[in-house]
Amino acid sequence: MKQELNLKEISQWELYKSRPLTICGPCSAESEQQVMETAIELAKLKKVDIFRAGIWKPRTRPNSFEGVGREGLKWLRDVKKETGMPTAVEVANASHVNDALKFGVDVLWIGARTSANPFAMQEIADALNGVDSMVFIKNPVNPELNLWIGAIERVAKAGINKIGAIHRGFSAYEHIQYRNQPKWLLPIELKRAIPKIPLLCDPSHIGGAKEYLFELSQKAMDLNYDGLMVESHINPEVALSDREQQITPVQLNDLLNKLVLRDSVSNNLAFSDTLGELRTQIDLYDSQLLELIEQRMFVAKTIGKYKKENNITILQSSRWEEVMQKAVLQGELKGLSKEFINSLYKAVHQESINHQNRVMNS
């Protein structure tokens, strides 16, 4: 089917007064008191734009705290009355959407487990038809860009134009430093597909622990993200969900104060001149790189022809092993990481094999 929706048309809506837009509050609404105390402390900071709290919690395993349900919507309505902060909840089906809207919730977000499910996304999109709320869509748990774009597309097709994306990282099977793999290239690619979509980072669910929140938030700011969703709880030690990653409002204040915010453009002429010159150099090296690779492929094709004439297989693992080891050593001397050399050489090698394959089978 032809793509009817031009995602590049999603317009930059009035998202925030100053960067970063901040959506903060506890992982879960637990009690009337916990919600209100957290909200009052957050409102005092005068840095939190939107108050968040999960009411329906999608837990990976049963028997974990699954949220207080509709009851919590009244507490959010009180928070708005008391502090003036707009409120946000996660919705995972049509009845969540209807309940949240009935109680005057301003901002809805769709969680990572839901955005991975096109049926659930379509049900939510249908429930949103004709509604004028802000809707944020978290990346799906698995690193598939099209799934994320598809979820955004479904909501856009329902007529919602205040849409934002939240980067919360991707599940990993192996043990990694963070709770989820950030894979920063995916949100960057999302921005390439939908340039005007506001992009927020959720360092709480990427990091999974307090100590990573600042470095992740700073990185997001350096990559020109529009905002942050950070979990903050009046007393994280007794939180019923995501205990390790929640910070107190005071700690949130420190984090936000410490962030260095850089401009994405400069009107300093000398700076622009120097940057322009350096970028010209980069472009030059890039085209030299491509020319060298082209030459390398030419030699690979010649080898292919030669192997064909002599009836020899394309792949010779011992030779490849040798090339890779030498490159890793050379790379180290040049300050290039083993991971980088590995993926660069794998890609170059694959392209060589493709070229040789064509020669062999022509």
Residue from 54, 67, 208, 249 that binds ligand PEP (CB under 6 A)?
A: 54
* Residue 236 CB partners (closer than 8 Å, separation 6+): 210, 243, 246, 247, 248
Hey, is 232 helix, strand or coil?
Answer: strand
Q: Which does 89 bind (CB under 5 to 8 A by kind): ligand PEP, Mn ion, none?
A: none
Give the ranges where 195-311 is alpha helix by DSSP (H).
203-207, 213-222, 249-258, 269-309
Cβ-based nearer residue to Mn ion, 59 or 258: 59
Amino acid at 173: Y
Tell me the closest approach of the beta carbon of residue 153 to ligand PEP, in angstroms. 19
| 168 near ligand PEP, judged by CB under 6 A | yes
- Classify residue 11 by burial, with Cβ atoms within 10 Å: 0-12, 13-18, 19+: exposed
| 138 near ligand PEP, judged by CB under 6 A | yes
Q: How far apart are CA 57 and CA 45, in angstroms?
A: 27
**The tokens of 215 are what?**
């470095």
> Buried b vs exposed e over 282-298: b needs ≥16 C-beta within 10 Å?
eeeeeeeeeeeeeeebe
Number of residues that bind ligand PEP (CB under 6 A): 10
Amino acid at 132: D
Tell me the closest approach of the beta carbon of residue 137 to Mn ion, in angstroms. 16
Residue from 112, 190, 234, 300 that binds ligand PEP (CB under 6 A)?
A: 112
DSSP 212: G
Tell me the closest approach of the beta carbon of residue 241 to Mn ion, in angstroms. 6
Q: Which does 186 bind (CB under 5 to 8 A by kind): ligand PEP, Mn ion, none?
A: none
Residue from 27, 39, 230, 240 that binds Mn ion (CB under 5 A)?
A: 27
Query: What DSSP line would sit under 103-124, residue for residue?
Result: TT--EEEE-HHHHT-HHHHHHH
| 242 near Mn ion, judged by CB under 5 A | yes
Residue from 21, 23, 27, 220 that binds ligand PEP (CB under 6 A)?
A: 27
Choices 20-28, 279-287, 289-297, 306-314; region in contact with Mn ion by CB under 5 A: 20-28
Tell me the closest approach of the beta carbon of residue 183 to Mn ion, in angstroms. 19
Tell me the closest approach of the beta carbon of residue 317 to Mn ion, in angstroms. 46
Tell me the closest approach of the beta carbon of residue 67 to ligand PEP, in angstroms. 10
Cβ-based nearer residue to ligand PEP, 229 or 300: 229
Q: Name the residues that contact Mn ion, by CB under 5 A.
A: 27, 242
